[in-house]
Homo-oligomer: A and B are copies of this chain.
Amino acid sequence: MHLPDKTIERLSQYRRNLLISLSKGKTHIFSHEIAELLHITPVQVRRDIMLIGYNGTLRKGYDVKALIDLIGNIIDTEEGQNVCVMGLGNLGKAIIKYLCGKRPKLKIVACFDTNKEKTGRLYADIPVFDAEELTEKVKTMNIAIGIITVPFERASETANRLVNAGITGILNFSSKPLNLPGHVYLEEYDMITSLEKVAYHTKEK
């Protein structure tokens, strides 16, 4: 089953907001209610839900719990995937603190740095290893995903290291465009570009 990227993004957001609804005791929800939560259209919601093959109940809406579980089945693996952070700088630290415990199926289990002063200890309960140890730790700790928060100039070598170590999913914050083999999924996030986009639109208004 092929799902559009945009649908995946929205599924992630549906789930997060559905969990909030569930915790408030809501058992069923209509497409227009989900749409309101995310400020999109009900049609879009229904279409996304159709694409993942879920069926709501006519005039009762969608079963919140069941929908959450199904989205979980699509996004996550059963056992979950382990994540590592490359570069314990300002951003790396913020991400570790933020993500810790937030997503049980996406656990940050290790961090890697080249600065000897940072390695060999814990940061927010996460072990910080020397980047040399990457390949070994990826294997022993069963790490599937890497987050790149090293400086621009170190991003390419870090990405190659991750790929060589067997990582197949990368989230890159370094703003350095990376060219990776086809079997590795790469998601780039460029904060300067986001901010410049805001600048452009703010100017235009």
Q: Which residues of A contact B (CB under 8 A)?
A: 5, 8-9, 12-13, 16-17, 37-39, 74-77, 81, 83, 90-91, 93-95, 97-99, 102-103, 105-106, 144-145, 147, 168-171, 175, 177-179, 183-185, 187, 189-203, 205
The listed residue (B37, B169, B194, B197) touching A198 by CB distance below 8 A is: B169
Minimum Cβ distance to chain B for residue A81 (Å)? 6
Given A169-B201, A202-B145, residue A196 in contact with residue B106 (CB < 8 A): yes
Q: How many copies does the complex hold?
A: 2
Cβ-closest 10 pairs across A and B: A169-B202, A185-B201, A90-B94, A12-B193, A12-B196, A169-B198, A94-B94, A91-B94, A75-B200, A39-B179
Q: CA of A43 to CA of B170 in the docked complex: distance in angstroms?
A: 27
A16 / chain B contacts, CB cutoff of 8 Å: 175, 192
Residue of B nearest to A96 (CB): B90
Q: CA of A38 to CA of B39 in the docked complex: distance in angstroms?
A: 32
A-B contacts, 6 of them at CB < 8 A, read A74-B200, A75-B196, A95-B191, A145-B195, A169-B198, A187-B201
A102 / chain B contacts, CB cutoff of 8 Å: 192
Minimum Cβ distance to chain B for residue A176 (Å)? 9
Q: Do A81 and B177 have beta carbons less than 8 Å apart?
A: no
A191 / chain B contacts, CB cutoff of 8 Å: 95, 98-99, 189
Residue of B nearest to A171 (CB): B198
Q: CA of A10 to CA of B81 in the docked complex: distance in angstroms?
A: 31
A93 / chain B contacts, CB cutoff of 8 Å: 90, 94
Given A37-B177, A192-B16, A193-B9, residue A145 in contact with residue B199 (CB < 8 A): yes
